Structure 1
Amino acid sequence: MKKDQFVNETSQYYANKNYKEIQNVIKDQDLQVSYNRSEDVIPQTRGTIRGMSVSNHFYHLAKSTKGAFQKEWVTLLSGNFSYDSSTMQVTSVSGPRITLDSANFGAAFSPYMDGILTSNSKSGAGATFSANYTMKATLGASIGDFPIGFNFNFGNHTDKWTASSMQP
């Protein structure tokens, strides 16, 4: 689903503060929702080379592989890149770093990301950042048939985006 379609479909829900329906659209259509920020780093003294610090938040909603629980969380993927301001070509990329920005799992769960793999690349005016991980949570209190210490798996996830030196 394209951004315009998503906004058209969910704007009435938003106006009515019906956030559950927006969440249902995201879940039913298996959408990836994210927003990003970029900030110029203090200009370096190397002529036309400039630096950019960028970050992107990714919203996730998933059920455990056992199907017992559905949880939501937000990750933050951040990195840096340099570019030549005369050509806008990316010259180097560092990072990314991924962190768990928020996780609404409830008091009985300790959520964590496992098996994190990160990568970056550059092409023209773009710097691409990617992180792959498995979302898990350890149970801190027994619930039903699940004992204390049970590890829930919420699946494998990839957060990826391309930042541009041409962003305002």
Structure 2
Amino acid sequence: MTQTITRTSPTPVPETSGRRDRLTQGPDVLFCYGTLQFDAVLEALLGRIPERTPASAPGYRAAALAGRVYPGLVRAFDSSAAGELLTDLSYKEWEILDAFEDLRYELREVALSTGKLGWAYVWPGGDVRPEDWDAEEFQAQHLTEYAARCARLAPSLAAGLPKGE
């Protein structure tokens, strides 16, 4: 049986910074496996909580990264990364999230447990620890400070400035 996937992605806008515009790929739904699963982070960055549905990415894991409190999605053929799909992002919200994500992440389409495809920020390698990222530990030890940092970054991201400027 062949599955048809229909895309209703927004029209990309021209690149305005020196970095490659990852959104020219026309992403429609975002698979979140790390910090973007937390309401406080989404609210701080976007000013709202987008619609979400549970999903997982077979063949991947949310790996702990050396020196970072957030994870990276990496290939792991015997695993499945649990997460959520953000299904109603506006193009402006995609721009904000794309600017927020580390430039080392690659925006890729991944197969999901739902039988559909979704876009995810995949970590290309390096700095990957052998253990999986611990969402409960992040929530208990880092979420408050991380969400506050996101809130401080949000105005610049919304203005189209890359993270760190």
How would you bin the TM-score normalised by the shorter chain? under 0.3
Bigger fraction of residues in strand? 1
Normalising by structure 2, report the TM-score. Answer: 0.21
Q: Which has the higher helix share?
A: 2
* Bigger RCO (CA 8 Å, 6+ sep): 2
Normalising by structure 1, report the TM-score.
0.21
**Higher Rg of the two aligned structures:** 1
